[in-house]
Amino acid sequence: MRDAAHSTVVTQRLLLRRPRPEDVDVIYDIYRDPRASRHNPSNLLRDRFGAENLYRSWDEHWRNAGFGYWTVLRQGSDRPVGFCGLKYMWFHDDQVTNLFYGFDPAWWGQGLAAEAARAAVGWAEQHLPGVAVVARIRPENHASQRVAVRAGLTRAEHLDGLGFDGLEWIYVNQPALDRPSGSRTRISST
């Protein structure tokens, strides 16, 4: 699973590739913009050092797991428009993959996040069968909820819980995570 075949995904309009050190500037540009972190204030970057740390954590996941968050580019362009992908995390008692997507606000509203998220979920279903994909979304983030649904996830209200920035609604790609109603736990990443 750690080979280069997993580092690139191509969709109709997008190229998803493993992040590179030169992407740090784009990470910083996107996540210092308060619009991009409005629903998840803990994602707001205050300096380039934060972007470098974020890149290093993404790269470490790639080295350890053989997959991770991708840099998203429009086909034919070398300027990233955002980031989307998967990383392992513990959710309740299960190891799952967290579906993440974050895009430059200049590219919002064009369906790019949904296209990238669909590709990430499809990749997971092909390469990590049996491992659930989970999206943790703030209740007021309607755009992100629409992306999750367009990516093939469904709302699992009984799994809603507290995350780093407050209540998170949970969307999953498979019912294997069913738990008794009312079980709320804090969500942690690995």
Inter-residue contact 172 to 94 (CB < 8 Å)? no
Q: Which helix (H) or strand (E) holds 88?
A: strand 80-91
Contact between 43 and 37 (Cβ < 8 Å): yes
pLDDT confidence of residue 100: 93
| Residue 95 clears pLDDT 80, i.e. is over it | yes
Say yes or no to pLDDT of 178 above 60: no
Amino acid at the residue 45: L
CATH numbers and ranges of domains, the chain: 4-189 (3.40.630.30)
Model pLDDT, residue 111? 94
Buried b (16+ CB within 10 A) or exposed e, 113-152: bbbbbbbbbbbbeeebeebbbbbbbbeebeebbebbeebb
Distances (CA, A) of 98 to 13, 33, 79, 107, 117: 23, 23, 25, 22, 11
- What is the per-residue pLDDT across 9-61, written as a single tens digit (0 to 9) for each? 999 999 999 999 999 999 999 888 767 676 665 666 788 998 999 999 999 99
Whether the predicted pLDDT of 74 surpasses 90: yes
At 103-152, the pLDDT tens digits run 988 888 899 999 999 999 999 999 999 899 999 998 989 999 999 999 99
Q: What is the mean pLDDT of the chain?
A: 86
Give the pLDDT of residue 181.
42
Q: Amino acid letter at 136?
A: R
Least confident piece of the model among 20-29, 83-92, 111-120, 168-177: 168-177
117/111 Cα distance (integer angstroms): 10
* Entry pTM: 0.86
> Strand, helix or coil at 19?
coil
